[in-house]
Each structure stands twice: as C-alpha cells, then as structure tokens.
Amino acid sequence: MADFFPISVWYGENKARAPMLSHPTEESHKIAKRDIENMKKLGFNSVKFWVDWLTVEPEPGVWNLSFIDPLMKLAEKNELKVIMQLYLDSAPNWIASLYPDSRFQAQNDDMIDSQASPGFCLDHPDVRKEATIFMQKVAEQVKKHPSFYGWDVWSEPHILSWTWLDWLPSGVGWFCYCQHSRERFRNWLRKRYDNIRNLNKSWYRAYRDWNEVIPPKYVTLSTWRDLIDWQLFNIDKLAEDLKWRAQTVKKVDSEHVVTSHAAISSVFVPPLNWYGNPDDWEMAKQVEVWGTSLYPKHIGWNNPLDSAQRGISLDATRSSCKDQGIDYWLGELQCGDGVTGIRFGEPVTPQDVQMWAWSAIAREAKGLNYYAWYPMSCGYETSGFGMINLDGSITDRAKAAGEVGRIVTENMDIFRNTKSPKAEIGIVYNIYSYIMLTCSREQSNDIVASSMTGIYRALMEENIPVDFIHINDFVKGNLKNYRLIFMPFSIMMTAEIAEGVKKFVQHGGKLVAEIRPAWSDEKGQSAEVIPGFGLQEVFGCKERWIRERKKTKLLVGSTQEISTFFSEKKEIFGSVYEEAFGQLKDTAKILASFEDGSPAMIINSYGKGEAILIGSLISMTYEKDRNEENGKFLKNLFKWADVEPPMYIKGGNKVEGRILEGSGYKLLFGFNHGDQAELAFHIRIPEEKYKVLDIPSQTEVKWSYENGLRIQRELKSQEVCVLKIEWI
C-alpha cells in the first residue's frame, strides 16, 4: 500500500451503473477493451470494478463469477491495478423466501421489501452467514490476479441504503426494528446497564425482563436517555458491521488493502440522518484506509460547494484517519454533471475536475476514485455523473482527470511520502451535540455544520492548517500540540470530556466556545449551572439567561487581550441565540455586550491558559453572511494564540495556498478561486539554497528570498499550480 497512489475510475461492463451488473456479451467485452485502453491512455493507473450479490448468486449456491476474470485480465494487460467494490445492498430476493423475517422494519412496523436495494437486515444471523459466503467467494476469485490491489467493502455505509421511503409518515426514518435488530440492541443494553433494574431507572420504564425492551421510535416529553442510547447503538453497530466485512474478506485475502468510504463527512450530519449515519472516527478504526465521497456539484444541500465547504469535508476525513495512523482516499470523486430524477446541477468543467483533485491531494489524500466512467444509464441518477459520454466519446473532463492521474503516477514517490504540517489549531466535532439535536426534534443540523464551517472558512482564508478534533479526544488528553481549540455549540458532553477541556486550558491551551457548553450530560440530564460540569470555572462566568434571536449585535469593546486590531470598539453579529453571562470571576473580563448592555462575551484566565465564551453564534453568522467584522474577529483569534500562518500570499483575492511536507522537500499547491492574477507566495522557511520545480511541466521556477521564500506565479481563474521546493 505504501508504494502506490491509486487514481482510478469506476467501471462496469456494458455501461452498467453501480451497483448493478449486466451480463457481458462478446460485443460488450470489445467495448470494455476499448474503454480500459482509453483509461490507460488518458493517464489513470487503476480501475474500480464492482460486484453485487444478486448478480453473483442469483440462486442459493449458484455462482456467477465468470465475468470477473476477463475484466481483471484486461486491467492487467493495460498495467492498471484493480480495486473491487462489494455491494451487499443489492441482495438476491431468494433471501426473503428462505428467511421471511429478514426484511428491514421501519419504526412504524412497515416491512421493507428489497427492490434491488436496500437488501436485507444483516442482524439476521442467516443473512449474515449467506453474505459471508458471498464475500469470501468473490475474494477467492479475485485475490489470485496480479492486477488486484485492494477492496472497498462498503460504499457509503448506512443502516439502510439506496432507498427513498417517501410513503412513510413524516418523521419516520430510523432503522432497524426487526426482531433481530431489537435483540442486538438488547444485548448492547445488557452490557451498558448490566440488569433490567438499572435500565428501568435510566429510561423511566417498568420492564419486567429484557424481552419486553423495544427501541425508541419517537421523542417523548419525559426523558431522552432511550433515544440517546439508540443513537449511540447505531454508531457502534455501523462500526462493528464494517469490522465484520473487513475481517470476512481478510480471512480469505490477508494481503490486499481493505477500505471503505462515507457518503459525506460525519461532521455535517447527525447519526440518525439518512437512515443511519456513521461516525468517521469510529469507522476509521475498522479498516486500513477510510475515505469519503465528494460531489461538489451534486443536487441538494448547499450545492455547489465552494472551496471552504469542500475543504472542511477533506480535512475532517483526514483528521479522522490521522487519529488511527491510516491514509484516507476519496472513495468517490465527482467528474460528471449531477442529476437526480429531473433535477440538474451546475455543469462540471475540466477546471473543476482538476481543482477538486488537487484540493484533495493537497490535503493529504492518498487515492482518488472517480465516479464513474459512463454516465448512469438508468435509475434515479440517469444521465448523470459520467466522465465520458454514453456514446463512448471522450470528454475534456476525462482528459483533465487523466492528466492528474499521469502527473501523480509519474511522481508517485513525491506525492505518496508527504504529510500535512502539524496543525496548531483544532475545531471540535461534537457527536453528542448532534445526538441532542435529534432528541430536541430539531430538523436541521445547520447550527453545528455552519458554525464549524464558518470557523474553518475564516482560517482557510488566512492559509492556516486546521485539524478536526473528536470531542472524545479530550478524554485521551493528547491535545498538547494545539495552541487554540474552537468548540462550537458543544451543548452535550460527558464529565470525562469536561475534565479534559479543563486540563487543556489549565496546561496553557486557549479555548473558544459558543453557546451553553455542557448544558446536558450524555444521559440527557441538564446541568444545574451552565456551563456545566464545572466549566464555569474555565470560562469565569455563569449563564444569566438565554433567548432566541434571528440576528443579534455584539458590541465589542477594546480587546487588546486578543489582538491589537480591536483597539477600538467594533460591532460583530450573532444569530439564533442571545446568551447573557453573570457572576464573573475576578480573572474574567467582558469582551462584548449585547445592545441592552448584558455581557455577551467573556475572556477568562484559567491555570496557564485562557478561554473565551461567546453568547451567540458568530461563526455561523460569518458562514451565512460573510460579515467582514466577524471574519476579522475570528481571524485575529489565531494571533491571540500566537499561531503564525505557514505562508502569506500577495496579489489577487480568493487565493488559497496549501503545503505538504516530505523528507527534504515541500510541496506548494496554489489555488486561484478568484480572477486571473499575478501572485506572490511567501513561505516561512529559512533562507537557504532551494530548487523549485513546477511538477506538471517539469520546469524550474525562479525564486527569491523576501520575508520568506518568495515565488511569483500568474494563475488564471480556477487554475492550480503544483510546485516542489527542494533543499540543495
């Protein structure tokens, strides 16, 4: 794995769309030969085939694997490595005949029949046994081929996949409630509570034995503990199921890499969204490479994605894998126009394709898998997402993606052996806040997602590297490398997490939080004092009152404790809430007030560090409104923490710079998201002798030394430069 950087295209013979297969013919094999030869000519170094269960085992014990060998040999002949995607969601219908109780069950008790998806519930022991046989049969067939490189054992994990149950009553979308899933949940609860008395006390129930226990199906007035447990169970279940898939394949094939990829970074979505969504940090523990899909011009939420919205998804996925010491890939990268039904996204350009690819590589991705060679030939995405046209003609997008593949393949050692510089700033991903939103019947996850993105955007505009920190990392106590941590909307946490937060600040860290930290514990119990778990000592104040406000103004006084920029009074804006503070400690100071004079922002010294608590969502407001003063305030917080950007860029606007570090060299990536401009990159490295190479053209680049290594480049709009800076 360490010596290869896959740049692949998803491909199904006979223009089949994933996850479907079609029966190959002599004619379709000729077309496959042409297609795979074209992939090689364009510059790709690998191809991603897929195998679905219903095609491979149309009847119990009847195996259709003959299509695999010819495709593998075509890849081998063209010196392309193969990644194999496994689909259990497309399960054969004889499963339902043999095991009538294997269907997914919705929370209103409707049974879900599989219509090519979503398959059948793998909590059923016999379904799991049959699926094990399928995966291992495929592994035995594939592993022997010299072209084979690795597995993707689960595409975009959810409890229930590739199905839209619009006919179910509004609000119904949690799975699975079949008898086997209920029993799995009961076993999980037994480990958590030991006996039924403890469960009854916690859930406010009167169960007589475990057989009476049912998963929660809705929100009630009295307690949230049952629904919190249901969400935590589903997170564990997805991780356990990924581990099972990986181990199943590894029992037959221990030599090849095993991967999986999410539909979207978990920093954006609650656990029960989309019929069950995983936690990236838990999933990354189960495989050798974890990843995500990236569709910047899809249809739907917040599309098209701009550079910051793309960047947060990539950096969050990278951070979840960094925690486990593994690589991350893009399991799916868009290269064709987004289509869902009769809705259409913005056209994808060759410039988009190159920008998206290099943005991922610049954030340490070690594999790109484009979806897909042909546009979707049928189904809900008909005519969408293709790299070439359905008639087989090659597009400029395909040429652009292939060019990235050629450059990476010719310089594989350079790109494989680089890492992101150590970030000194972290943004907290709090899975418990999402859990509490679900318990609160909050339909939108925008508060959390937009708050994180607003902070990320402000720092990205200053070219400052950022890590995402899982809230549970405070328990591990491994955060000493961070000078500054942002903790937006962390309304729920455990006592152990709060202790970790205290220690981080006490030992010299700087912390910025917005709105009601530790309002609730992981049992759904409200804190007696907010901030909870004793965090009032860290922030030096207590909540006086809180109220909703669509938009609110914060009057910032002279705050030279943070930055000399705020030597005069300024106005910044918040949204959703006004939270006023009182009972300030002697070590605390008021940084801003609401228009009625109530304290709206507090800075407090605690141990060797400092903490700021903000009584509104100024980061969310920056993401929504791009208010200049909010941006300046957020950007000046890194100066308060004595963090220096690794570079600064003169000339043009909307220019992004990223650095990767290798042994004796650095890679500089420049992205022009604005208009054509003459740019000067100033990189903070010692004054020595360097060789600067433009990697795509293999030409040497002039440089000078002026407040850092200075490299001047002209970049057109949407153009990318990729430079190697080597010590000589």
Q: How much is the pLDDT for 552?
A: 97
Dihedral sign for Cα atoms in the order 674, 680, 681, 682 = negative
Q: Is the dihedral of CA 179, 182, 186, 188 positive or negative?
A: positive
Q: How confident is the model at residue 478, as a pLDDT?
A: 87
Do residues 577 and 702 both lie within one domain?
no
What's the pLDDT tens digit per position in 129-152?
999 999 999 999 999 999 999 999
Same domain, 105 and 215: yes
The CATH number assigned to the domain holding 30 equals 3.20.20.80
pLDDT of res. 563: 57
Band of pLDDT at residue 567, cut at 50, 70 and 90: low
> Within 10 Å of residue 223's Cβ, how many Cβ atoms?
18
Do residues 359 and 487 both lie within one domain? Answer: no
C-alpha 447/C-alpha 440 separation (Å) is 13
Give the residue from 640, 657, 687 where a domain finishes.
640
Q: Classify residue 370: in a domain, yes or no.
A: no
Quick one: 654 and 568 in the same domain?
Answer: no
- Mean pLDDT for the stretch of residues 559-579: 78
CA distance 213 to 192: 14
On whether residue 232 sits in a domain, the answer given is: yes
Q: Token pair for residue 139?
A: 């592994």
> 152 and 279: one domain?
yes
Contact between 413 and 431 under an 8 Å Cβ cutoff? The reply is no
3-state secondary structure of 342: coil
Count Cβ atoms below 10 Å from residue 411 Cβ, excluding itself: 18
Q: Evaluate if residue 569 carries a pLDDT over 80.
A: no
Interval 217-241 mean pLDDT? 96
| Domain contains 603 | yes
pLDDT of residue 452: 97
- Clarify whether residues 636 and 656 are in a common domain: no
Residue 374 resides in a domain: no
- Residue 513 CA neighbour count, 13 Å, CB half: 32
The last residue of one of the domains, among 640, 655, 673, is: 640
pLDDT tens by residue, 399-428: 999 999 999 999 999 999 999 999 999 999
Q: Rg for the chain (alpha carbons), in Å?
A: 26
CA pair distance 622, 312, nearest whole angstrom: 15
167: pLDDT confidence band, cut at 50, 70 and 90? confident
Sign of CA dihedral 161, 162, 167, 173: positive
Q: What are phi and psi of 541, to 5 degrees?
A: -165, 170
- Residue-wise pLDDT for 75-123, tens only, equals 999 999 999 999 999 999 999 999 999 999 999 899 999 999 999 999 9
* CA separation, residue 170 to residues 107, 167, 598 (Å): 12, 9, 41
Q: What is the pLDDT of residues 519-559, one digit of tens each?
A: 999 999 999 999 999 999 999 999 999 999 999 999 998 66
Q: How far is CA 207 from CA 109, 181, 677, in A?
A: 21, 18, 70
What mean pLDDT comes out for the span 353-361?
A: 98
Residues 431 and 552 in one domain: yes
User: How many domains does one find in the chain?
Assistant: 3
Q: Is residue 414 in a domain?
A: no
Both 466 and 605 in a single domain? Answer: yes
Q: What is the pLDDT of residue 558?
A: 67
Q: What is the mean pLDDT of the chain?
A: 95
Q: Answer yes or no: is 1 within a domain.
A: no
Report residue 361 as tokens: 């590589």
CATH number, domain with residue 465: 3.40.50.880
In a domain, 270, yes or no: yes
Q: Are residues 162 and 40 in the same domain?
A: yes
Instruction: Give the pLDDT confidence of 599-647 residue by residue, as tens digits.
Output: 999 999 999 999 999 999 999 999 999 999 999 999 999 999 999 999 9
Domain span at residue 137 reads 18-291+312-333+355-364
> Is pLDDT at 565 greater than 60 in this prediction?
no
pLDDT of residue 473: 97
Token pair, residue 314, equals: 């990539």
**pLDDT for 559:** 64
Domain of residue 661, CATH code: 2.60.40.1180
Both structure tokens of 392: 């087989």
Domain identity same for 523 and 660: no
- Rounded percentage of the chain residues whose pLDDT exceeds 90: 92
Asked if the structure places residue 349 within a domain, the reply is: no
Residue 377 confidence (pLDDT):
93
Same-domain pairing of 597 and 659:
no
- State whether 716 and 627 are in the same domain: no
The residue from 640, 675, 697 where one domain ends is 640
